[in-house]
Each structure stands twice: as C-alpha cells, then as structure tokens.
Structure 1
C-alpha cells in the first residue's frame, strides 16, 4: 500500500482516480492546485504523485521543478497525466524528471499498471 497524491483540478477525474486507487488499497491525498500539491509533498509521506500539467496557482511543470529541486521530494516518482500532448510538452516533462507521461483521455487500467510498476521499482 502506498500514499499517492493526485494533483488535478478536475474534481470528477480526481474522484474516479481516488476510487480506483483506493480499490487497489492505496491511500489517496488530493490537491486541486499546484500550491496544495507542493504543500502535500512537503508535509506528508507521499510515495508517488499523479500530476496534471494545467492547474491553478502553480502549474504542473513548476510543481515538478520545485519537487526535483528539493532533496526531500526529489526522488518521489511522478506520473504526468495531462491533456497536453505536444512533442515539446512531453520532452520538457521528461527532461524535468517525470517517470511516466500519459495524455488524457487515458485508459484507467494502464495508469494503474504504470503506477504499480513505478512503485515496485522504488520498493513500495
């Protein structure tokens, strides 16, 4: 069981992901904006982040940059789950340190498997 942060401002998507992840026995923390996501990574024991690119206050790329710049959060695996699908968006996210990049719409079971594989890689 892992503690997973879902950082996305889409409430319906967040609730669907929460339901699926809790069904896999994970604990889920939700943040509707980038500032809340950063706060959660700093104050809670987060094992993995599912991060949207376009969020209010602080966008996903900046959240990623701040996480990777902080030694306390730099090693947390990040799955970027976003509607942004241009080559430059994907390349920038991968260069920034995301572990997986999925575009919306997505296959929920694929996301769960990618999360499971990432958690296994980091020993969670």
Structure 2
C-alpha cells in the first residue's frame, strides 16, 4: 500500500502543478484584459467595462486555481511523509476533485480507494 500512497502523492504533485500553470496563464490573460480596458485607443465605454469585467472574472478564477494547486502541492509533500493529517486533507481534496471531469474524478476515486482502505489507514496512524 505504501507504493500506492507514494504514487498518489506523485499524482497530487502533478495535479497541483497543472493547476498552478493554469493559474499563471489565467493571470496573464487577466493582465491582457486589463491592458485592453486601460488602452487609449478607439474603444467605447462598454468595451472598457466588458474588458474590466473579463479581467476581474479571469483573475478570480485564476486565484482559485492557484490556491487549489498550492493545496495539492502541499498535500503531496505531506503524503510522502505519511503524516496523519495528510490523509484527512487528501480525502478532502479528493471529494472536491470528484467534480472535475474526467481526470479529477479518476484522481478522487483513486485517492478514496487508497486512503480509505484498511492498509492505507494503518499507514497513517501515528
């Protein structure tokens, strides 16, 4: 079961890295939207407002993705150390991952199988 937990930690590390990259790309898109909103070209008021709203929306979604990715990176590190709190945090993230089709669902189901298994529980008991 230790191999499964280590593999799960690697999957969480990969998933966190993907979300972090998505967040960075989103921040770049938000910066572009704000640049359009603040340009002095022949832009109407409604275009400025739409670009600002787009920038804020993309920025908020990117911030959520950054936090989600950072949580996965942190949990990945604690899973490798077999800390008792890591199991609970990984299960919490697994529940959230279940709605992210299709890869998040597979990751959440695998995390549930590994961490709710009796051997997996014993691995994290202090």
TM-score calculated relative to the size of structure 1: 0.25
Greater Rg over alpha carbons, structure: 2
What is the TM-score with the length of structure 2 in the denominator? Answer: 0.25
Hey, which of these two has a bigger chunk of strand by percent?
A: 1
